[in-house]
Structures are given as C-alpha cells and as structure tokens.
Structure 1
Amino acid sequence: MNKGSKKLDKIGQLGPFFELDKRRQKAVILLFEDELTDEEIAKNVQRRRSTLDNWKNDDKFKAAQEQYKKLVVKKDFESKALRELVNLLNAKSEMVRLQTAITILKMSGMMSDNSTPELDKAKVRKANAEADIARWRADELTGKNKSDDSTVLVDDIGDVEDE
C-alpha cells in the first residue's frame, strides 16, 4: 500500500468503503492502485480469483471503489487544484478568469453545475415577472385594476372558409 492508502484507512469516515471488512477494503485499494493482476490481488487478500470477481460485481463493493477513488483524489489533489484555480483568477484572459470563478463557486457549493451568472439573473427576472403577474391577478380579483379607461378585445373575424 502507498502512504496515502495507509492514511485513508485510519481516518474513520462513514460510507461504503468503511463498511467493508478489511480484506475487501484491501482489495479496493489494490484495484485502485492498479499495479497487480486480479489473480495477484485475490492471493494478496487470501481469497480465490472467483471471489474477487464476485466482489467486483457487488453494488456495495462498486460504491466502495467510487468512494475510495474520491477520497484519494480529494486528499492528494484538491488543495493543489484549488491553489492553481486561485492563481488563474489573475489570468490575462477574461474568459479564463470567469470560468475559474465559476469553478471555485461550484466547488464551494455556492453555484450548482447547471447554474451560470446569466442563468441565475434570468431566473430572478422570471421570478419577479411571475410575482408581478400574481399581484396583478390578485388586484384584478379584488377590483383594484378597474378603471374608466378600459380596453376590450373582440375577435370579430370568426371562422372564414376558403371559397
């Protein structure tokens, strides 16, 4: 196991990886490190190759692999990536600065993946327009919209048939 793997085993978090027994956890780690064949991994955890194959098809084991991958990537690369993003906030390109700011805001949870400043502004405009319409309808029902200067639209064209 590499140094990062040993540290991750000791952090005591919750989730599918930490719910596995030690042999399965070791198998997840060895599969992630991708240095041994499946046969060698099975031998390393004192199980048959067919047992490892069964584990690899198990949904909880798959979820544990995903969790472990995220833990390793987060531990090893998240802070370096964030430092790089902060440096990019000073880039010459306005587009690079904008994309960097959006990425940082998404990482912080302040902006969702399907959110952009333009989309957020449009959503605010839509909400305000819907609120204006709701107020107008309420006023219409209570008679506040009545005035002597009203316009009535009449459809006087009717159905015209081709001759």
Structure 2
Amino acid sequence: MKKSSKKLDKIGQLGPFFELDKRRQKAVILLFEDELTDEEIAKNVQRRRSTLDNWKNDDKFKAAQEQYKKLVVKKDFESKALRELVNLLNAKSEMVRLQTAITILKMSGMMSDNSTPELDKAKVRKANAEADIARWRADELTGKNKADDSTVLVDDIGDAKDE
C-alpha cells in the first residue's frame, strides 16, 4: 500500500470504500494504481482471481472504487486546480474569465451544472409566461375574460380533393 492511501484513511471514514474489509480495500487501491495484473492483485490480497472478478462485479465494490478515485483526486489535485482557476479569473480573454467564474460557482454549489446566466433568464421568462397563462385561465373560469365576440378556430387544411 502506498503512503498516500494511508493518509486517505484519516480523511473521511464514511462511505462504501470504508465499509469494505481490508482485503477488498487493498484490491480497490491496487486496481486504482493500475500497476499490477488482476492475477497479481488477487495474489496480493490472498484470494483467487475468480474472487477478484466477483468483487469487481459487485455494486458496493464498484461504488468503493468510485469513492476511492474521488478521494485521491480531491486530495492530490483539488487545491492545485482551485488555485489555477483563481489565476484564470485574471485572464485576458473575457470568455476564459466567464467560464472560470461559472466553474468556481458550480464548485461552491452556488450554480448547478445545468445552470448558466442565459438559461436562468430563460427559466424566469418561462415562469412568467406560465404565470400569465394561469392568471388568464383563472380569469376565464371566473368570467373576467368574457367578451361579446368569440374566436372560432377553423381547420382550413382540408383534403386535396376539396380544392
């Protein structure tokens, strides 16, 4: 086991990775490091290759692999990536500055992945239009929209032989 994986054990001991027994945890780590064959990993954790294959197909083991990957990436790269993003806020390109600001806001939870300023404005317009329609329907039901004339919809798309 590498030194970095020992440090990870102290970070946050909740989730699928920490629910695995030591052998499965070691298998997750060795699979992540991608330096050994599956046969070598199985020997390293004192199990058969078929057992390792079964583990790799288990949903909890897969979730543990995902969690471990995120922990390693977060520990090793998150602060460096954030520092780089902060530096990009001063970029010459307005587009780079905008994308950087959006990325930082998404990371902070202040903006969702499917949210952009343009999309947010469109959502507001849609909500206002839906409110207008609801108000019109309510007025229609209470008789406030009644007028002396009425609109008749006509289907003027007839069969070709009618022409």
The TM-score with structure 1 as length reference comes to: 0.84
Partner SS, residue 139 of structure 2: helix
TM-aligned CA distance change 1:148 to 1:16, over 3 Å: same
Q: Which runs of 5+ in 1 are unaligned?
A: none
Structure 2 residue runs of 5 or longer lacking an equivalent are none
Shift of 1:159: 8.6
- Distance of aligned partners of 1:62 and 1:154 in 2 relative to their CA distance in 1, 3 Å threshold: closer
| RMSD across aligned positions (CA) | 2.7
Shift of 1:151: 7.5
Tell me the TM-score normalised to structure 2 length. Answer: 0.84
Task: Spell out, residue by residue over 1:11-35, the C-alpha distance to the aligned partner (whole angstroms, 9 max, x if none).
Answer: 3422211111011001111111122
Q: Secondary structure at the match of 1:106?
A: helix
Closer, same or farther: CA 158–37 of 1 in aligned 2, 3 Å: closer
Counterparts of 1:82 and 1:31, CA distance in 2: 27
Per-residue deviation at 1:161?
Answer: 5.3
Q: CA deviation at 1:149?
A: 8.9
* Distance verdict in 2 for CA 1:80–1:150, change over 3 Å: same
- SS of 1:153's equivalent? coil
- How many positions carry a matched residue from both structures? 163
Query: Per the alignment, do residues 145 and 37 of structure 1 end up closer, same or farther by CA in structure 2, a change over 3 Å counting?
Result: same
Could you tell me how far apart the structure 2 residues matched to 1:54 and 1:73 are? 26
- Percent identity reads 97
